[in-house]
Structure 1
Amino acid sequence: MDIDLNSDLGESFGTWRLGDDAAVLDVVTSANVACGFHAGDPRTLLSTCERAVAAGVVIGAQVGYRDLPGFGRRFIDYESADLVADLLYQLGALEGLARVAGGRVRYVKPHGALYNTIVHHEQQAAAVVEAVTRFDASLPVLGLPGSVFLAAAERAGLRTVAEAFVDRAYTPAGTLVSRREPGAVLHDPDLVAARMVRLVTRGELDAIDGSVVTVRADSLCVHGDSPGAVGMARAVRDALESAGLTVRSFT
């Protein structure tokens, strides 16, 4: 059985450094590279793409709201046309940088508040689907299982990739616990590694209230800005491989 391990990268800006992208790229198989709207400056994004190519890691575009001060984690009530244009702008920018680095954008993953919004928000989900379809309909999209976004993407003929989160707690409904709530972000490498092996092999994990929730995933995400991200990513990969699973990109 194959499983992808992805991480959000390229999120530093100027002299402000976030995460250890080089170390994470030694572990993951897919890199969700920021596109400059929620994080990342052009030099950082180019360097991240170059490092991903050198490491043999697949590049994905992590598109988000135009929200640098809030790191893309605040909802924005976009008109559809504005959101489509903003997403196309980001996709075009990262594709250009990826090509110069010797690679290309191979998939699309929304970031932060946009990712969570399109779990239920049909208008914005449709706008994301429209942007990807107009840019390159061959690109897979990552999203939360059961989201209106993945349903809309499937109807449009896009390849969908169900995603689970290594370092986040889940509600009994199978959605992510808000970062504003205590216990939303997990930090123990051994705990998250065991959770992910159980998720991949049995399709389940414990929700924050102790109930068992069904979760299916083709790709697992560890946030590059989480404390101890490298250690968690390594622990998860080692545990998955020890369980007889093959860690490789879904592309």
Structure 2
Amino acid sequence: MSNELQVVLECRNLSKEYSVGPERLKVLNGLSVVIRQGELVSVVGASGSGKTTLLNLLAGLDQSSDGEIFIAGHSLTRMGSRQRDQLRNRDMGFVFQFHHLLPEFTALENVILPAWLGGKQSEETYERGKLLLQQVGLGQRYHHKPSELSGGERQRVAIARSLINSPRLVLMDEPTGNLDEETAGQIRELIFELNQQVGTSFIIVTHSRELAQKTQIMYRLKDGRLEIVG
């Protein structure tokens, strides 16, 4: 991947500590990393190594103890909560182990919800939502509610939702962790296809070695820092 490609995410000396009784527990320790446009990156590590903590910091859902995070050149660390919300909606997408779809909404409504929240309610938004559902293989499921979809289909809806605002970066937390092996394989292939098609950067936190080894760059989170594997 060329170094001339736009930097989408940069972490500089990121640290995170928690108070555990009278002691301080350091989860991240001077972590630095750069993610460029279109890169497909995985993060692996032992349970308790800080993977979810890192993802929450990158998403602006938690504050670091030290260091700085930049999204497309904008300092997430220095923003107020309103600015962070706007940046998150505009430039970032999210997929979690559990899909977090709203049960009363159809698949299409769930997909376009982030666009609605960002003030986009045009016919073009609906058409983009339909296109994304087609891309994830759910072109016949626009009007089905989550209870009418399989686990894999619900996760496909969540992936489509993460792309509705054409984000620069999608953060994924165990996107295949709650699925059977066959469905997990289908979701893996879908992620790779969408990465190639839309040019969005993906950071995938996963316990799945099979998924991690197929990404362009695999990091291990160890001793509070990221190291490239392989």
TM-score range, shorter chain: 0.3 to 0.5
For the pair shown, the structure with the greater C-alpha radius of gyration is: 2
**Larger relative contact order (C-alpha < 8 A, sep ≥ 6)?**
2
Structure with greater strand share of residues: 2
Please, what TM-score do these two structures have when normalized by structure 1? 0.33
Please, what TM-score do these two structures have when normalized by structure 2? 0.36
